[in-house]
Structure 1
Amino acid sequence: MGRCQLHAMPRSVSIRGTDAAELDKNTWGPLEDLVRNHPGAGVHFQECEIHNRAKDVGSATANWFKELLSSNPWFVKIVPNFRSLPKEALGPGIDSASVFTSVCINTAIHLPWLISQCLSNGVIFKRDVFDHILDATTSGIHPNGPVDLVVNCTGLMASKLGGVQDTSVAPARGQIVIVRNDAGKMLDMPGTDDGDEEACYVMTRAAGGGTILGGSYQKGNWESQSDPNLAVRIMTRAVKMCSALTNGKGIEHLDIIRHGVGLRPVRDGGTRIEKKRIGGVLVIHNYGAGGAGYQSSYGCAQAAVDLIDLAWDVQAKL
C-alpha cells in the first residue's frame, strides 16, 4: 500500500478522479488486512456484482456509482477476481455487468471494534456539544494543558460548526431496509425506473448483521425519518434483482429487522483534507467524503496524518 500523494498543502482533495482513487486505493490494503487477520473487526470478503443499464446514465445515482460503471475502472488491478460478465449471463434490461471480490463491513461490530483499538492506545473519549471548532480546545475538554492541534472530522455538521461553516457540504439522504434474509452476495444497480435519486443494492453483513437493502441518494434532503413508500420500492426492487432473498417470492417474505436513514456528508469539490490555522490553533480538516466514508477511510486518515507530520516538520525547523 502506497501513501496518499498530496501536493504542497492543497486546499482540498477531490473525491472524484485520480485523487479519489488514491484515497480508496490506500484504504483497500488495511481493509484486506482486517479481513485476513482481525476477525473481530466485522469485515469480510463478499462477491460483488454490478449491473449497468445504459438508460440510467446521467441520473443522480448513476453519477454516484460512476467509477463502478467504468469499463476500465481504476480498481481493476486492486480488487481480486475482477471480470466482466458475458452478455448471455445478463438479466433482462441489463446492458453490462462486472463481478469482483469486495469487502462488506458490519458497522455494528466494526465501529465498537475501532473504539476498542483507540482505548487500547490510550485515547480518551468525551461527548460534548460545540458551537465553534475552538470549543474543542477549552480547559473543560483538555484539562492537562493547551491544545496544539484539532482534527476536524465533523462530517455533515461542518456546514454549521462555527469557524468552519462550509456551505458546500450538504446531505445526500440514503434510506435502507435491514432484513434477516441472506442474499449470498453483494449486488448493485445504480439506477431504477422509480426515480432519478433511487438505486438498488443488496449486501449481507458478517456475523449475523443482516442484509442491507437500498437505497436512495437524495441530495439536499435532511429528512431523518423513513419514508414507507420508498421502503416498499426498495424491497420490491431488491427482491426482483436478487431472487435468492425470498426464493423467488414477494416482499411479504422478507423478514424485516428495521428501517434506517442516513445523511451522507457530500461536499461540492470533494473531500476536504486541508491544513489551516483558526485562532492560532492548527486545524486539520478531514470531512466531506459523502457515500465513500468507509471505502476511503484509511486513505483519508493517512492523508490527514501526512499533513500533521508535515506541519510538525515545518514548525520544528522554525
Structure 2
Amino acid sequence: MVKKTRVNIVGAGVIGLTTGLVLQRNGYQVNIIAEHWPGDLNVNYTSPWAGAYIKPDPKLDEKWRKLEEVSYKTLWALSYMDDTSVIRIPGFDMYSKDLQINGEPWLKGIYHKFQVIPKDKLPKGVEYGISYTTVSMDVPKYLRWLLNQFTNAGGTKKKAHLNHLNDAFEPDVDIVVNCTGISARTFGGVEDDKVFSTRGQLVAVWAPHVKTAKALHEDDTLTYIIPREDGEVILGGTSDVNEYDGTPDPKTAELILNRCVKLCPELHQGKGLSSLQIIRHTVGLRPSRKDGIRLETEIRKNSAGKDVIVCHNYGHHSHGYARSWGSAMEVLDLIEAAVKNRQRNVAKL
C-alpha cells in the first residue's frame, strides 16, 4: 500500500474543515488540530457566528471570482442533499447608489435567475438592484456536517492549543496548512499584522414565514435578512473595524431590528416590532485582512531539517462560507504544484 502524504491543518473553522475535507478526499491523510470545534462558542472561533449565505458582489475583484464560483456551485449541489442544512432561497440586493454596472455577465453565468432590476421597479431611494437565487446555511448544523464528512472520509482530529506554527511540524508530516483565521495576527510563526477584526453584531428571530434574503447597501451601512432551514432568520448587521468586544450592544440590536423591519415589514406580519420572537443576540469577529485572503505556499524546515510545505488559507473577512470551497480547491492546487516542484528539485540532485 502506498503511504499517503500526511497533512496537518491548524484551525477547525469553516475554512479549516472544508480544506481538510477536500484534501482528505483527494488522497492525503489529514489531521486537523484546533482548540475550538463545532459546538464550541468562543468569540475567537469565528465560524459559528456567521450569517452564512452567498451574496453576489457585482464589484468583486476578478482574482476572487473563481473562489466564489466554485463555492456557490458546490453549495448549490449540497442543497439537494439531506442533513447539510444548505437551502436554496431567492435573494434581492439593493443599493442607494447607482453602481453603473450593466448586469455583470459573469454573475449571470453563475447565479441562478440573476438579473438586474429595472430602475422603475426599485423602491424609493434605491438606485441599483439585483435579484437571484442563492443558498444559506444553518451554521452549527453545517459545521457539524463538514466535520462528520471529514472524519467519515478517514480524516483525524486533535483538540489542542498551539502557540506556534512549528508545533504542527510533526516528524512524519510533509505539509502544514494554516487556517487560523483571526488568530493569524498573533499566532507564532505567522504574526500577520495585515489581519484585523471586523466586529459584526446579529439578531436571530423566529420568522418561518420569511423565505427571501434581502440586503440594502446605504453608504457605510449594510442591512440584511437571511432565512435559514429551521425557521430562524438572521438580521444584521454591523461592520466595526478593529473592534474585539464580543458582548452584544442593546442599542445596536435595536437599530438592527428597526432597519430590518423597515426593509422587510413582513417580519412582524403587521403586528409591530414588539411582536418579534427574538431567539438570541450574537457577535462575531470577522477575520479581515488588508490585501484580502492569503493563499500561498512556502517551504520551512522542521526541527530535523526536513523541508515542510506550508500553505496559508486565511483572511476571508465576511466571505468565509462564500469562498470556502473555492479556497480549499485552490489549496489543493497550490499543494500539488509545490509537491511537483519539490520532486523536480530532488530529481536534479
Aligned to 2:203: 177
1:108 Cα deviation after fit: 1.7
Compute the displacement of 1:316 (Å).
2.3
2:142 is aligned with 1:110: yes
Q: After the TM superposition, which residues 144-223 of structure 1 pair with which residues of structure 2 at under 5 Å, given as runs?
A: 145-182=171-208, 183-191=210-218, 196=220, 198-206=221-229, 208=230, 210-223=232-245
**Which of 123, 127, 130 is 1:98 aligned to?**
130
* Contact map agreement 2:103 2:115 (CA 8 A) in 1: no
Give the match for residue 68 of structure 2: 24
Gaps (5+ residues) in structure 1?
1-14, 58-65, 139-144
How far off its partner does 1:71 sit? 4.1
For the 8 Å contact 2:114–2:133, the answer to whether it is kept is yes
What is the DSSP-based 3-state SS (H/G/I as helix, E as strand, rest coil) of the residue aligned with 1:30? helix
1:70 CA displacement = 4.7
Q: 1:149 to 1:49 in 2, by over 3 A?
A: same
Q: Is the 8 A contact 2:197 2:244 kept in 1?
A: yes
Does 2:328 correspond to 1:301?
A: yes
Partner residue, 2:88: 45
The corresponding residue for 1:243 is 265
Q: Which amino acid aligns with 1:152?
A: N
> What is residue 33 of structure 1 aligned with on the other side?
77
For 2:18, the equivalent position in structure 1 comes to none
CA distance in 1, matches of 2:232, 2:286: 21
1:227 counterpart residue number: 249
Deviations 1:7-65 (A, max 9, x none): xxxxxxxx9511111111121221111012x22111011000001102xx8xxxxxxxx
Cα distance per residue 1:107-161 (max 9 Å; x no partner):
12111000010110111111111111111224xxxxxx52211100000100001
Question: SS at 2:125's partner residue?
Answer: coil
Gaps of 5+ in 2: 1-58, 302-306
Counterpart amino acid of residue 275 in structure 2? H
1:298 aligned counterpart, secondary structure: helix
Task: Give the aligned length.
Answer: 280
Counterpart position of 1:62? none
What amino acid does structure 2 have at the position aligned with 1:199? L
**Partner AA of 2:310 in structure 1:** V
- Name the TM-score, length of structure 1 as normaliser: 0.83
- 1:219 alignment partner AA: V
Quote the Cα distance in structure 1 between the aligned partners of 2:252 and 2:198: 15
Equivalent position of 1:252 in the other structure: 274
Q: Who is 2:291 aligned against?
A: 269
Distance 1:70 1:286, change over 3 A: farther
- Take 1:217 and 1:209, find their aligned partners in 2: how far apart are those partners? 25
Sequence identity (%): 32
CA distance in 1 between partners of 2:132 and 2:60 (Å): 21
- Whether the 8 Å contact between 1:172 and 1:221 is mirrored in structure 2 is yes
Alpha-carbon deviation of 1:219? Answer: 1.3
SS at match of 1:230: helix
Tell me how far 1:250 sits from its aligned partner. Answer: 2.8
Q: Sort the Cα spacing of 1:104 and 1:220 in 2 relative to 1 into closer, same or farther, 3 A.
A: same
Query: Match of 2:107?
Result: 75
Q: Which of 98, 104, 118 is equivalent to 1:86?
A: 118
SS at match of 2:92: strand
What is the CA-CA distance between 1:174 and the residue it aligns to?
0.8
1:313 pairs, out of 328, 332, 340, with: 340
Amino acid at match of 1:164: V
Amino acid at match of 1:299: G
- Greater share of helix residues, 1 or 2? 1
**Separation in 2, partners of 1:251, 1:151:** 46
Q: Deviations over 1:184-210 (max 9, x none)?
A: 200001226xxx3x321001111x151
- In 1, the alpha carbon distance for the partners of 2:263 and 2:272 equals 12
Match of 2:235, SS state, is strand
Secondary structure (helix, strand or coil) at the match of 1:131 reads coil
CA contact (8 A) 2:103 2:116 kept: no
The CA RMSD over aligned residues, in Å, is: 1.9
Q: How many angstroms apart in 2 are the aligned matches of 1:180 and 1:31?
A: 24
* Stretch of structure 1 that moved more, 229-238 or 269-278: 269-278
CA contact (8 A) 2:207 2:233 kept: yes
The 1-side partners of 2:73 and 2:262 are apart by 34
Contact 2:90 2:131 in 1 (8 A): yes
